[in-house]
Structure 1
Amino acid sequence: MKIGPDCVPCILKMCLGFIRKTELGDSEAFELFNDVMKIPSLKGEDWTVTSPDVIEKVMRISYEMLGDENPSHLQSTIRDKMKYPLPEEQYQQMKGQLANTRRLVYFGDNAGEIVLDKLLISTLKELYDLDVTFVVRSMPTLNDVTLTDALDIKMNKVARVLENGIDGPFPGTRMFRCSPEIQDIFRQADLVISKGGGNFDSLDEDKKRYGQKISFLFLSKCYLYEKLLHTPLEAPILSNYYD
């Protein structure tokens, strides 16, 4: 999904948020923010990229100034309740596809959610005969899951854990940037589960090219999601692409 006007203030707010969590002085914070504001998409000059493309540029600028490859790798909180249920039609469609799936590829998202990811994968393996590959970021990006995070909770006990091979702090998944191994696994998968908005924004650009069956799982956090998927804000989204 290409970036839209609503993405600009959201990305800038995110940038300001992790600046405030560092020890930068005011002058350094101004310098970092000014450099971020030079990114063409944040000036309204380029609408052909995805949100993760822009966030990667923000992260690279931050790394250069902070000398830290992970200035905002923070623990996330788990929502204590879900106000909206998953859409029933999409849920039943996904169950039907899982019944015909042997090779499942699961793209992780938030590090704070991986305990639930592990529980979901364990449950799916009890219900279906699945060979699962869990894919994580190769470089620390925002609060996204890395290999260390996955191994800390022993994700490797329920799935093969692989890094995506992307050589930058890219908070999403684009196949042409992934390692050849991940590209092959993706092509051979019977079903792909993609977690998080960043993975949706980026992998959505690849779905027609590769023709894979993908179930996107994420929260409706902005107007663009509301408009595209007809969901209220903060509602959980299950969007299947099985064409």
Structure 2
Amino acid sequence: MKVVLECIPCYMKQVINAVAQTECSEEKARQIMYQILPMIPELDSEETPAVNSTFVLRKINELLEIEDPFKDAKRKSNELALSLVPQLRERINQSEDPLYTACQISVAGNIIDLGIFSDYDLEATLQESLAKRFFRDDSEEFKERLCSAHEVLILGDNSGEIAFDKLLAEELRRRGVRVRFVVKGQSILNDATLEDAALVGMGEVAEVMTNGNGYLGTVVQARSQELIEAMEQADLIISKGQANYESLESTQEAGDKTYFLLRAKCEIVAKNLGVDLGSMVFARNRNE
């Protein structure tokens, strides 16, 4: 998915949201904004929004002189999500279709996107997600293919959300498949890292690995050799969130074994998916 003109305001919103995580003065925040603005024309219009946003976010961190301005927000989102896990696990266990319910819960956590939303109501989003079905829904096809699968790779997205992803990994494990879970190799935005995976206990149900870099999404050319091999080896891939969709949709590397699990929080992503803004999606990659 290539950038479009409408991506430009989103870059600036990311500046505002990142600065809001700190005790930065209004004057310094204004100066940071002014220093980011000249970068915008230099961003590659042939790249994905995920790649260009990464460059903007790295520059913000440099100007703030903070390695991870979202550190505290990530901790809070993990703690909130973990507090909800017991009741959600029970909801899955009582469901007529536990895997589908686990996917609904997993995608609800996708609302924790501090690059787009400065605030969110996780519990309300959970109730909404559990009451709706996926707008684009290839879950039945996924379940059929899962019957003959040996290994599923999950490309993780945000902190907080990762606690719900653990419930999905648990449900996949019940079906006898090996689960591997991918986090970021370096801090970027509020994306999940090894620290977040350890906090939610992801290692109890899945083999945790990093993508080897600090880009948003899964940038094909930036993948570690370990991730390249893991994607090739997996029978099925679940790709969480918008940034992973932006960087992998229609690619041969994702192939037809990749399923995108996300909420369309951006009008451009929604249009690309052919769904309404805010829709939940469980859609197989088409790499035509």
TM-score by length of 2: 0.76
Matched with 2:10 is: 10
Q: Which runs of 5+ in 2 are unaligned?
A: 78-111, 113-120
> Which one of 174, 180, 191 corresponds to residue 225 of structure 2?
180
Q: Which stretch of the first structure deviates more once superposed, 140-149 or 54-63?
A: 54-63
Q: Which runs of 5+ in 1 are unaligned?
A: none
More helix as a share of residues: 2
Question: Does the 8 Å CA contact 2:264/2:281 hold for their aligned counterparts?
Answer: yes
> Which one of 204, 217, 222 corresponds to residue 249 of structure 2?
204
Taking only the aligned residue pairs, the percentage that are identical comes to 30
Q: Distance in 1 between matches of 2:65 and 2:171?
A: 41
Question: Does the 8 Å CA contact 1:105/1:185 hold for their aligned counterparts?
Answer: yes
SS of aligned partner of 1:12: helix
Q: Deviations over 1:98-120 (max 9, x none)?
A: 12211111011011111110111
Q: Distance in 1 between matches of 2:146 and 2:60?
A: 41
SS of aligned partner of 2:284: strand
Q: Deviations over 1:27-49 (max 9, x none)?
A: 3212211222122xx34874211
Q: Cα–Cα, structure 1 residues 113 and 28, in superposed 2: closer, same or farther, change >3 Å?
A: same
Question: Does the 8 Å CA contact 2:194/2:210 hold for their aligned counterparts?
Answer: yes
Q: Deviations over 1:130-175 (max 9, x none)?
A: 1111000011111111101101111101000011101x3x111123
Q: Cα–Cα, structure 1 residues 28 and 214, in superposed 2: closer, same or farther, change >3 Å?
A: same
Aligned residues: 237
Q: Cα–Cα, structure 1 residues 197 and 140, in superposed 2: closer, same or farther, change >3 Å?
A: same
Q: Which stretch of the first structure deviates more once superposed, 145-154 or 82-91?
A: 82-91
Q: Cα–Cα, structure 1 residues 238 and 198, in superposed 2: closer, same or farther, change >3 Å?
A: same
Q: Distance in 1 between matches of 2:253 and 2:162?
A: 29
SS of aligned partner of 1:139: coil
Question: Are residue 80 (structure 1) and residue 144 (structure 2) matched?
Answer: no
SS of aligned partner of 2:272: helix
Q: Distance in 1 between matches of 2:256 and 2:275?
A: 24
Q: Distance in 2 between matches of 1:215 and 1:36?
A: 35
SS of aligned partner of 2:126: coil
Matched with 2:147 is: 99
Q: Cα–Cα, structure 1 residues 209 and 137, in superposed 2: closer, same or farther, change >3 Å?
A: closer
Q: Distance in 2 between matches of 1:30 and 1:45?
A: 21
Letter in 2 for 1:80: L
Q: RMSD of aligned C-alpha atoms?
A: 2.0
> Which one of 247, 252, 257 corresponds to residue 213 of structure 1?
257
Question: Are residue 234 (structure 1) and residue 234 (structure 2) matched?
Answer: no
Q: Distance in 1 between matches of 2:35 and 2:144?
A: 48
SS of aligned partner of 2:52: helix
